[in-house]
Amino acid sequence: MIVRPRYFIETKDNLFFAVNGYCHPDDYIISFLRYIPDENGEREYNGKKYSKVNSSEAYEYISKFHPDYLFLWNVENKKMMGVPKDDIKEIHSPIKRLNEIRENRDKNEFYEKVALLSDIFHEEADIAFDDMGITGSTLAHLEISDSSDIDFIVFGLENHRRARNLYGKLKDDPNSVLDRIDEDYWKRVYKKRIHDNSMSLNEFMWYESRKNNRGLIKGTLFDILSTMNPEELEVSDNLFYRPLGNMKIKCTIIDDSQSFDTPAIYKIGNLEILEGNPLNIEKIVSYTHTYAGEVQNNEVVIASGVCEEVTDKSYKEKKYNLVVGTTRESINEYIKLQKNPLR
């Protein structure tokens, strides 16, 4: 059973879940509910109407109709969401779906934009079509052609870096179909994501603009998402995580290669504990899009979040991460440069 982050699972009762991890327990695929059948929904697939659900709606729906989809696994006192393998109707592959769209690119303008984006990355960044895919509503065949975004995946860390670098070069090229995002859009995203005073609007726009992972193609928004190839994985399904408490640190980023992945991971050095217990933090791990790709190698950063203890049967001693984004609002949880980039 081939399943990777950002693949979609369709269940026997027609629910759509997005896979959001590389490791899974024996009987489940860790994934999050995205779309549910709804006779009043504005999306349609296979003769059924659907609606998209947000995080709170997803938990409410699963708690009511599929409580067995919430279970304890590898995080102390935290229930994970996932689909029992016996309930899987179909696994939707982003790569296969992109190939379908490319073969039917003249069906509508949205398909043509998706196909064109893959053409650009293939021809100008030398990324194979088998290392690209489409996720989100389009993967579930639930896109709304005149309003959906393009959730584009590039598989492989180096491929993803090349795609972002290419967009960074083309976004200000008057001869390119790729454009940068305007300030009004960033204002809407800022209002949605930042719920405390950890970052100003101007700071937020500065960080987001330099990531080069979100842009426009002929007026349609696209994301350049990352999923690692199997040979790049350094993860184990034999880990157990235990939250210990709030912590704030100062450190230097020494490896940002997985900073756009799920979750985003930064390996760090030159650790200084500013608040919390004096534990040897080795990684910053972010579960929120806001802090994916936020900082880069050799930058000195301040990070605030929750310290977690990581144990594995093969470890001779415990290891520790700093987790950012332990709640949807991420109050007082952030990663940012030590020095304000706007000063």
Q: Show the CA angle centred on residue 259, arms to residues 8 and 77, nearest 5°.
A: 65
User: Residue 42 in 3-state DSSP?
Assistant: coil
DSSP assignment string, 269-338 = EEEEEEES----EEEEEE-SGGGTT-S-TT-EEEEEEEEEEEEETT-SS-EEEEEE-SSSS-TT-EEEES
The count of other CB atoms within 10 Å of the CB of residue 46 is 8
For residue 261, CA distances in Å to 161, 225, 226, 258, 278 come to: 12, 8, 5, 5, 28
Which residues pair with residue 80 across a beta bridge? 71
Task: Say which DSSP state 232 is in.
Answer: G
The pLDDT, as a whole number, for residue 334 is 97
DSSP assignment string, 67-95 = GGGEEE-SBTT-EEEEEEGGGEEEEEPHH
In 1-156, alpha helices (H): 55-65, 94-103, 109-125
The pLDDT, as a whole number, for residue 149 is 96
Confirm if 134 and 94 have CB atoms less than 8 A apart: yes
The pLDDT, as a whole number, for residue 329 is 80
- Which amino acid, 82? G
* Closest residue by Cα to residue 243 from 179, 290, 308: 308
Confirm if 133 and 93 have CB atoms less than 8 A apart: yes
Which residues pair with residue 52 across a beta bridge? 35
* pLDDT, one tens digit for every residue, the chain (343 residues): 689 999 999 999 999 999 999 999 999 999 999 999 999 999 999 999 999 999 999 999 999 999 999 999 999 999 999 999 999 999 999 999 999 999 999 999 999 999 999 999 999 999 999 999 999 999 999 999 888 999 999 999 999 999 999 999 999 999 999 999 999 999 999 998 999 999 999 999 999 999 999 999 999 999 999 999 999 988 777 889 999 999 999 999 999 999 999 899 999 999 999 999 999 999 999 999 899 999 999 999 999 999 999 998 766 679 999 999 988 788 999 999 999 998 8
Task: Say which DSSP state 24 is in.
Answer: -
Query: How, if at all, do strands 214-217 and 79-84 pair?
Result: unpaired
Q: Report which secondary-structure segment, H or E, holds 261.
A: none
Q: Report which secondary-structure segment, H or E, holds 159.
A: helix 157-170
The pLDDT, as a whole number, for residue 1 is 63
306-315 pLDDT, tens per residue? 999 999 876 6
The pLDDT, as a whole number, for residue 327 is 81
The pLDDT, as a whole number, for residue 75 is 92
Strand residue runs (E) in 12-47: 16-19, 28-37, 43-45
The pLDDT, as a whole number, for residue 315 is 65
- As a whole number of Å, the end-to-end CA separation of the chain is 51
Cα–Cα dist 71/327, whole Å: 18
Cα–Cα dist 24/45, whole Å: 28
The pLDDT, as a whole number, for residue 64 is 97
The pLDDT, as a whole number, for residue 317 is 77
Residue entry with tokens 């279970």: 71
Q: Report which secondary-structure segment, H or E, holds 243.
A: strand 239-258
Q: Show the CA angle centred on residue 22, arms to residues 21 and 24, nearest 5°.
A: 85
Structure tokens at 203: 């700071």
User: Residue 124 in 3-state DSSP?
Assistant: helix
Cα–Cα dist 319/302, whole Å: 20
